[in-house]
Amino acid sequence: MGEGTVRQNHINHQPSTINYQLYTMRSYFKFLRKNKAYTLIDVLGLALSVMFIILIGAYTWQETHLDSQHSKIDRMYVIGLDMEGSTTTGSHWRMIRKLMDQFPEIENGTALATNHRWLKTVDGENVPTNVVFVDSTFYDMFDFQLIRGDRKKVLANPNSIVVTEDYARRIWKDEDPIGKTIIYNSQEDPLIVSGIMAPMENTSIFSPDDKPVDALIPFEMTKYWNYSVYADEMNNATGAEIVLLAKDGTDLSENEQRYNDFAKEFYWILKMPGVECRMKLIPFKDHYFSGYASSTGALGRGDVKLVKILFATGLAILLFALMNYINLTVALSGYRAKEMATRRLLGDSRAGIMMKLMGESTLLCFVSFLIGAALAWLAWPYAENLLDRKIDIHYCVTPVTMAILICIILLMGVLAGIVPSLLISSSKPIDVVRGTFRRQTKMVFSKVFIVVQNMVTITMIAVAVTMYLQINHLINAPLGYNTEGIMYIENGGIKDKTKVFMQRVEQLPGVEMVSASCGHPLQGGNNNTMSWNDRTISFQSFIADENFMKIFGLGLERDNKTTDPVKTYLNRQAINELGLKEDAESYQYYENVEPIAGIIKDFHIRTILDDQHPLRISITDVDNFYPWGFLIKVKGDQMTTYEEVNKIFKEIYEWDNEDTMPYLTQQIEERFRSQSNLAKIVAIFAGIAVIISLLGLVAMSTYFVQQRRREIAVKKVFGCETSEMLRKLVLSFLMYVVIAFVIAIPIIYLIMNDWLSGFSYRISVYWWIYLVSGLACMVISVISVYFQSRKAASENPIKALYQN
């Protein structure tokens, strides 16, 4: 019977297409069972990469689609200020009406300001409340869900308040909250609950410290919190975030010059001498990644660099896993080639074999995807904590995102299967029979992928080390004042209980000293701007009692030894900018002439990265000002002392102090939390990259050594020592690390110098960082290949030659 007859009979007796495909899959499952290490490494690597892709994808999708649910988002603009490159959003509340009266293309507007308030129930209970102050037009512009209440009237009354269901339940339990009252200011009528809102989700509008919004209050009520935000004089230039709504077909940003020319007539910050300041109109959908700082904190800001870094590292992890799959499949292609050659002889086409192999890789990717999705679900809370953002999954699960996920699975399957399928399907049956095909498959692809994996691993290790060093450099930067053992407790500006609280706290055994103050160096104090000799000078100002300077260890360059009841100290920068002589005894501050008590040594306000300003510190008795809070120098156990202080605070002020980071050292770390989280994220990715790389190298070394067993055996027969064989095997892998290291050096330099350039106070990319990263990767490679190589080098050559 001829060959054609055999092939024809095979074709005639094939099962149905579906049954045949199921039948042929049995060989694939048999192959997976036989090569358990291959299966485990591929599935684990792909699952881990999918987990990161899902988490990063959800975060990125949410960050880039904030406020997308609002129907008028394309017509909304945020007012910003550009002061010679220093940019911020914010203006004065009264700017809305002035612009609307002058320019008909502006249809509507609302202000936003945020504050953490202690509202009081009629029973006298103090309730911590995260408040956003808004205009009555808020619900006309934004489509946030209002569960109860008329959207057009719910904020029309200045004494109205809209609260969330959770907040209402916290105060009034199961009672109907509509019509209930809560006290905002003891001198005024109470606020009346006029509406119930759903939680404000998927939005860039935040309350203090990015906490969920509890209540909306009409903006007019800000006059009892900070009158300058409300005043006709508009002396607070950026006391509110201003959102304007344009009429259909109008682009407000095109009219910036007209708005600036008009606002210069009454808006003082635009006409400051010696400073060029311009009002900007930023599309609301773009403000989140605009780079403009928020003057009030009511509008959140995203980090576009973080999104890009996460996307790039997630993609790198996915490519790692795909490389492992391709690498291992190519390495094992000799084991599948015999099966595929047989199928070619029995009538399967090359295209059919390619589709089968890509179908197998897609199936494996689908299984890995399901495992990765389960891992992502388990890791979700940790990811939210690390990214410092709640990821609302129902905003991420849309038809578009589901289509993207399906495309990712198919793309993974195609990318993972295309190279092995091309290689295996192109094999000639005669090469398979001779055994030459297996030897041909061990060369180019595997070596290139190993070099790429090592290069990425070295780069990520170097990036993680550099970021860690830079963050510690910032946290431990010398600020020019003491920070150790100093806590700060806010008191809500209540003056009449100040001395009682201070006296009680001073008696605690763990307390060394107490000071009442308006702000502190890390917080920044107050900012006052005045004109001086045709120039504008911006002061940072503090008011405090005499212990303030002692607690921070602030030294004097000169002490004028004045006896005034209010002693005002200036720093060297203030003396220089005011053009005062070294022995000056007074200076003009607005309309007043103030005596100078001395010159204080310069120190940093806020963090080491912030621009410094002229500084004035007014020292006086606590009876002469309304302190914002208390500075407490601790000499005992910090946690115990904090608990004791909190107990006294609750007794005197009748509410709980909710500050979880009272110590300045904690607050400094908090200032760099986003950078610190980024460093942790990169370190995690580097760790995963190392694990995947390690798994891949272990597997590849196993199969490389297996393919070279005959060569090793022959050399041993001719007298080659085991140690010599071991050295050659290990060095062959280390050569890939050396090549990867050379490629990684310029990449590390470019990436880290670009990132570090964003810090005014920064480290250098030290030479030893490159060395440590390369050595770490080298150690990983040695660990990966040593044991397999030793086993092969020590094997009895007769056994190896017999089996081959």
Rg of the Cα atoms in the chain: 35
pLDDT of residue 208: 62
d(CA 482, CA 518): 18
Which alpha helices (H) appear in 620-720, and where do they start and end?
638-653, 664-671, 673-707, 709-717
Query: Is 694 in a helix, a strand, or coil?
Result: helix
The pLDDT of residue 345 is 65
Helix (H) or strand (E) holding 243: strand 241-246
pLDDT computed for residue 436 by the predictor: 52
Structure token digits, residue 239: 């006391």
* φ, ψ dihedrals at 249, nearest 5°: 80, 10
| pLDDT for 548 beyond 80 | yes
* DSSP per-residue letters across 569-585: EEEHHHHHHHT--TT--
Q: From CA 325, how far away is CA 416, in angstroms rounded?
A: 6
pLDDT category, 397, cuts 50, 70, 90?
Answer: confident
For range 681-698, the mean pLDDT = 80
Question: What is the pLDDT confidence band of residue 430, given thresholds at 50, 70 and 90?
Answer: low
- Of the pLDDT bands very low, low, confident and very high (cuts 50, 70, 90), residue 344 is low
pLDDT tens digits, one per residue of 734-761 = 888 899 999 999 999 998 998 898 888 8
Region of residue 492 (left: phi > 0; alpha: psi -120 to 50; beta: else): left
List, in order, residues 6 or more apart from 496 with CB less than 8 Å away: none
Strands 535-544 and 615-619: parallel
HSE of 32 in the Cβ direction (CA atoms, 13 Å)? 15
Burial of 349 (0-12, 13-18, 19+ CB in 10 A): exposed
State percent of the chain over pLDDT 90: 33
Where in 733-773 does DSSP place strands (E)?
none
Query: Which pair of structure tokens corresponds to residue 33?
Result: 């069972």
Task: Annotate 414-445 with DSSP letters as a single string.
Answer: HHHHHHHHHHHHT--HHHHHHTHHHHHTTSHH
Residue-level length of the chain: 804
Q: What is the dihedral of CA 637, 639, 645, 651, to 10 degrees?
A: -140
Mean pLDDT across 638-659: 87
Overall average pLDDT of the 599-619 stretch = 88
Query: 751-797, pLDDT tens digit by residue?
Result: 899 889 888 889 988 899 999 999 998 888 888 777 766 766 666 66
Reading the block at residue 124, the tokens are 């006298």
Contacts of 750 (CB under 8 A, 6+ apart): none
| 760 DSSP 8-state letter | S
Using CB atoms within 10 A of its CB, is residue 465 exposed (0-12), middle (13-18) or buried (19+)? Answer: buried
Q: Which residues contact 44 (CB under 8 A, 6 or more apart)?
A: 695
User: 342: pLDDT confidence band, cut at 50, 70 and 90?
Assistant: low
Q: Is 356's pLDDT higher than 90?
A: no
Question: CA distances (Å), 359 to each of 19, 340, 410, 420, in order?
Answer: 15, 14, 9, 12
**Which single residue is written with the structure tokens 């200036």?**
570
What's at 452, amino acid-wise? V
Name which of 158-172, 179-193, 235-249 the model is least confident about: 179-193
Residue whose structure tokens are 């508009």: 234
Residue 736, φ and ψ in degrees, nearest 5: -65, -35
Task: Tell me the Ramachandran region of residue 758: left when phi exceeds 0, alpha when psi lies from -120 to 50, beta otherwise.
Answer: alpha
Closest CA to 245 of 91, 105, 144, 101: 105
Cα separation of 229 and 238, whole Å?
Answer: 8
Can you state the angle between helices 304-331 and 673-707, rounded to 10 degrees?
10
pLDDT at 341 over 70: no
| Nearest one of 102, 99, 126, 121 to 110, comparing CA atoms | 99
612-528-629 Cα angle (round to 5): 85
Please check whether residue 633 is in contact with residue 513, taking contact to mean a CB–CB distance below 8 angstroms. yes
Instruction: Rank 79-88, 487-496, 507-516, 577-586 by mean pLDDT and report only the highest.
Output: 507-516
Token pair 């200076």 is found at 587
Reported pTM: 0.76
Residue 623: count of CB within 10 angstroms of its CB? 9
Residue 88 DSSP label: E
Q: What angle do CA 713, 719, 723 make, to 5 degrees?
A: 75
Note the pLDDT of residue 14: 45
How confident is the prediction for the chain on average, in pLDDT?
A: 83
Check residue 644 and give its pLDDT: 94
Average pLDDT on 78-102 reads 92
Place of tokens 């619900």: 139
Please, which residues have CB within 8 angstroms of residue 156's CB and are 6 or more apart in sequence? 136
Task: Look up residue 292 and give its DSSP letter.
Answer: P
Query: 378: buried, middle or exposed (CB in 10 Å: 19+, 13-18, 0-12)?
Result: exposed
* 3-state secondary structure (DSSP) of residue 85: coil
pLDDT of residue 8: 45
Q: Does pLDDT of 604 surpass 60?
A: yes
In the chain the first and final C-alpha atoms are separated, in Å, by 34
Burial class of residue 520 in the structure, from the number of CB atoms within 10 Å of its CB (0-12 exposed, 13-18 middle, 19+ buried):
buried
Dihedral Cα 313, 314, 317, 319, nearest 10 deg:
-100
- Assign 91 a pLDDT band (cuts: 50, 70, 90): very high
pLDDT at 336 over 70: no
pLDDT at 145 over 90: yes
Query: Residue 509 pLDDT > 70, yes or no?
Result: yes
The helix/strand/coil state of 241 is strand
